[in-house]
Structure 1
Amino acid sequence: MKYFLSMSFVLLCLTLAGCTSSPSTNSNSNELSGQLTLTGSSTVAPLAAEIAKRFERQHSKVRIDVQTGGSGKGIADVRRGVADIGMASRRLASDETDLTAHQIAADGVGLIVHQSNSIAELSPDQIIAIYTDKSNNWQDVGGDDKKITVVHKAEGRATLEVFLKHFGIDNPSVKSDVIVGENEHAIKTVAGTEGAIGYVSIGTAEADIESGVPIRLLPLDGVEAKTVNVASGAFPMSRPLNLVTADPSSQLAMEFIQFCQSADVHDLVKSQYFVPITKGSDIAK
């Protein structure tokens, strides 16, 4: 009888020990799950979408929805709580201190013309004159006798804000012929109009030029509009590509952002013709 009680006591202890240890040995106890919604910059969106696919493959219970609409929309959606993360291809403004920017790459904004355009380069004064309708024929700036078609970005687009700030132009002063939204819309317009000029993400333009789209990037201040010059800091019209959050942010959102900033996605950043950033090397957010 004593032997039976002793064995029963041992079995009970083993059972209790097994129950106590089971949660710590469960490999799925810390598995990420849930949904994220990203909205905003059409420049950042293709990169974010590719990173999201890789993140989802590593975390089968996570789903990430990436939507465009411009940097302004991304920031507004985060503030309203309808997006977990905003995408902004610019620095945060002085009235956006309630948000936090997390840089994932760098990009430059370059001026594009049709491939057939004979102009080699434009000075800042000539660019300002074109966009404020003081010069409306390419002959006025050393080119062929052809009307200039000014392609401009819509309000809320980060490329618009970067362009205006760099050249010190007030948006109401711009006299545009065509208003576009996304970079590809601007590229398509310039590619289809021999006298057109526009400004877009250098990375996007480089990718399209490589695929045969008939556009050309113009140098700025004597520096070629190339990704390598953005990476070195030589190109004057550069910008950070940010993911934007409001406090407090979910664990899932922060895990995704950390992944976007890691060396694990540098190949994806380069494939989109952007410049990878490393910790401590990012430009002002």
Structure 2
Amino acid sequence: MKAFKLNRRRALASAAVALAGLDRTHAAEGKLTLTGSSTVAPLALEMAKRFEKQNPGVRIDVQSGGSSRGIADARSGAAQIGLVSRALKAEEHDLLAHTVALDGISIILHRSNPVALLSDAQIKAIYTGQVRHWREAGGPDLPITVVNKAEGRSTLELFLHYFELTNSQIKPQVVIGDNAQGIKTVAGNPGAIGYVSIGAADYEARQGAAIKLLPMGGVAASVAQVRAGKFPLSRPLNLVTRGQPTGLALAFIEFAKSKATHDLVEAQFFVALDAP
């Protein structure tokens, strides 16, 4: 019994040192690789920079490539942490999700397009090729350019699930990868329609990008509505590990979930979560 108590005290002491190290210079050493969602990657990169500054012995490599890559790399060990911008599926029970923020997915149009509202039925008709011209949706005399996400992107999966579609039913003119590419494509084409992260779209619109966000289900596409739990197409932004994280991975995840990163989350126009 004494040996058990001693080992338990040592384990607790080690855990305490690891967590305390978040606020100490030279508290941690080593390298982490994070890969996956292009939505989570910019936030993870800012978190990594701050963590490295507090822990000069640490190097964190952040790569994008889609949530599917984050899942695959976390499973294979190619990355200690996967970046996944959706909830885990039932068949992904071998992985653990650590939610660091919330986000929504918004329909975006070119800023010059006078259309201010599209129903779910209209969006579905546009994406399946039943409606091909903006005049059919109360818009300008322009053909519609449908911008869709590439396979492996969680944004695509959530969009398809919400509208009860399969990817084979979508009739796109342009297929894009990350949010930045989608925003650039719509901003450069007055007839385009796309869907991207609310956080990314809101930020770029504020910076002058020629896009606008449309409401969904009568709810404005905004960070405030995501925070209130009212926006219909919302999602968690996750750091994913294969089993319980330990060591440096655990220290970084605890840091990413703490109030020490809330300003970084808000700066990306995501919704910060209260630290447990």
TM-score, length basis structure 1: 0.87
CA apart distance, 1:279: 4.1
* Aligned partner of 2:184 among 188, 201, 217: 188
Partner of 2:55: 59
- Say whether 1:113 aligns with 2:109: yes
Distance 2:184 2:162 in 1: 24
- Say whether 1:82 aligns with 2:74: no
* Aligned partner of 2:28 among 16, 27, 32: 32
**Alignment-mate amino acid for residue 277 of structure 1:** L
Identity %: 54
Partner of 2:7: none
CA apart distance, 1:180: 0.1
**Alignment-mate amino acid for residue 168 of structure 1:** E
**Alignment-mate amino acid for residue 124 of structure 1:** D
RMSD of equivalent CA atoms: 1.5
* Aligned partner of 2:89 among 87, 93, 96: 93
CA apart distance, 1:31: 3.0
CA-to-aligned-CA distance 1:30-86 (integer Å, 9 cap, x gap): 931110000000100010000111111111111100000000001101111110000
**Alignment-mate amino acid for residue 230 of structure 1:** V
CA contact (8 A) 2:102 2:236 kept: yes
- Say whether 1:239 aligns with 2:262: no
Task: Give the unaligned 5+ runs of structure 2.
Answer: 1-16
Where 1:179 maps in the other structure, the secondary structure is strand
Distance 1:226 1:240 in 2: 15
- Please list, as runs of the form range in 1=range in 2, the aligned pairs for 1:136-215 lying within 5 A after superposition: 136-215=132-211
**Alignment-mate amino acid for residue 260 of structure 1:** A
Distance 2:178 2:73 in 1: 18
CA apart distance, 1:145: 2.1
Distance 1:233 1:249 in 2: 29
CA-to-aligned-CA distance 1:115-138 (integer Å, 9 cap, x gap): 010111000000000000000001
**Alignment-mate amino acid for residue 45 of structure 2:** A
Distance 2:244 2:222 in 1: 38
Task: Give the unaligned 5+ runs of structure 1.
Answer: 1-23, 281-285
Distance 1:124 1:247 in 2: 38
Distance 1:82 1:159 in 2: 23
CA apart distance, 1:178: 0.2
- Say whether 1:133 aligns with 2:142: no
**Alignment-mate amino acid for residue 171 of structure 2:** K
- Say whether 1:271 aligns with 2:267: yes
CA contact (8 A) 2:73 2:79 kept: yes
CA-to-aligned-CA distance 1:232-272 (integer Å, 9 cap, x gap): 11111000000000025331101100000000110010001
CA contact (8 A) 2:96 2:244 kept: no
Distance 1:131 1:269 in 2: 31
CA apart distance, 1:158: 1.0
- Larger Cα-atom Rg: 1
* Number of aligned residue pairs: 254
Distance 2:63 2:117 in 1: 35
Partner of 2:120: 124
- Say whether 1:225 aligns with 2:221: yes
